[in-house]
Amino acid sequence: MSDIAVPGNRAGWRDRLGVAGSVSAGLDARRVLQLILAAIWLLDGVLQYQSFMYTKAFTQMIGATSSGNPVIVAHPINWNATLVQHHLVLLNTIFATIQLLLGLGIAYRPTVRLALAASIVWSLGVWWFGEGLGGVLSGAASPLNGAPGAVIIYALLAVLLWPSDRITASGAPAPFVAARAVGAGVARGLWVVLWGSLAYFALTPASRAPTALHDMVAGMVSGEPGWLAALDRHAAALAGHSGLTASIVLAAALAVIALGVFLPPPAGRATLILALVVAAVIWVIGEAFGTILTGGGTDPNSGPLLALLALAYWPLASATAPPARVLLTDQDTEGTPA
């Protein structure tokens, strides 16, 4: 038998090595993230069916997002709030059902493309008409209150988790799941734009005011369970008048996360872990779990979505693994030029 080591790229060679299962597992990482996104959409739909959403308070919530926005943004929001108020039961039921269908569509593999495309359109509409563009034009945006708007991150995830694979000129595998559909360069650019904008919003006057953090956290207490209300009161007391210091620390962490996507895998993983920690802090302290425990939350807010996004950028083992090598027998190499 002649021993010839050859880089393995063909499926048959993977099967001979017994590594087909591990390759499939790597390819399925995107599907796992799609299913998590589907679960969050389903949760949104369920929350939209709450009795609170069938009261005038829901329309007031929509109308409040127009405050501080330019007229061209605020006018359609106010029109939407009025329309929902006049047809509250019908429209809110439609809103809730659409979100349930988006979740089910993403979870069902044959309709995943259609559902992801629909989720992008729906997210952009809600971002304007329901979230006031996340407050990015009103001066009230802060990473701790969900800026730049949780629903726009749904659209971003739909793009990054799109079920297609971009083939590079070198044939190298995607370094992380988010790069498979749009390419590593575009994916990294989108990451920098999102996390860089969060760093910027952390330093705006509304965020760096001495009592900004205290007031924001303390304002979440109403209607919360006792244990969460106590946690928020404690966090607000710790913040005190240190809004500027907290903003600088948060902005620095967000900037590190934004640039971490360009680092080698070991350092990149560290910044992604930091992203997961920051997402958890935002979700628990800043967003109080999206107020879903008060009965008035329409979605879990941005914290879980930021964490899901970080997982989509986690370096894939297949991207750094050396090429598979196999031993070919004399029969395999018969007819091969010497």
Q: Are 220 and 235 in contact (CB under 8 A)?
A: no
Over pLDDT 70: what percentage of the chain? 85
Per-residue pLDDT at 239: 83
Please tell me the total number of residues recorded for the chain in this structure: 338
The band of 17, judged by pLDDT with boundaries at 50, 70 and 90, is very low
Q: How much is the average pLDDT of 236-260?
A: 91
Q: What pLDDT sits at residue 14?
A: 39
Mean pLDDT throughout 22-43?
82
The pLDDT value given to residue 241:
80
User: What global pTM score does this model have?
Assistant: 0.85
Question: pLDDT value at position 332?
Answer: 45
- Cα–Cα distance measured from residue 274 to residue 289, given in angstroms and rounded to the nearest whole number: 19
Mean pLDDT of 107-136: 96
Q: For residue 231, is pLDDT > 70?
A: yes
C-alpha distances in Å from residue 155, one per residue of 82, 138, 140, 150, 298: 26, 21, 22, 9, 17
Angle between helices 112-129 and 150-160 in degrees, nearest 10: 160
Report pLDDT for 23.
Answer: 38
The residue-averaged pLDDT of 244-249 equals 92
Determine the pLDDT at residue 232: 87
Q: Which residues contact 241 (CB under 8 A, 6 or more apart)?
A: 210, 211, 214
- % of the chain residues with pLDDT over 90: 64
Tell me what pLDDT residue 302 has: 95
Q: What is the pLDDT of residue 66?
A: 94
Please check the confidence at residue 109 and state whether its pLDDT lies above 60: yes
What does the pLDDT read at residue 166?
82
Q: How confident is the model at residue 5 (pLDDT cuts 50, 70, 90)?
A: very low
Structure tokens at 235: 């966090």
Phi, psi dihedrals of residue 300, rounded to the nearest 5°: -75, 0
CA distance 129 to 61: 11
Q: What is the pLDDT of residue 3?
A: 41
For the cut 80, the answer to whether the pLDDT of residue 21 exceeds it is no
pLDDT above 80 for 261: yes
Report the chain's mean pLDDT, rounded to a whole number.
Answer: 86
**Predicted confidence (pLDDT) at residue 254 exceeds the cutoff of 70:** yes
Mean pLDDT across 39-66: 95
pLDDT score of 128 more than 50 = yes
- Band (328; pLDDT cuts 50, 70, 90): very low
* The predicted structure's pLDDT at residue 337: 45
Per-residue tokens: 284 = 């628990």
**Where on the phi/psi map is residue 8: left (φ > 0), alpha (ψ -120 to 50), or beta?**
beta
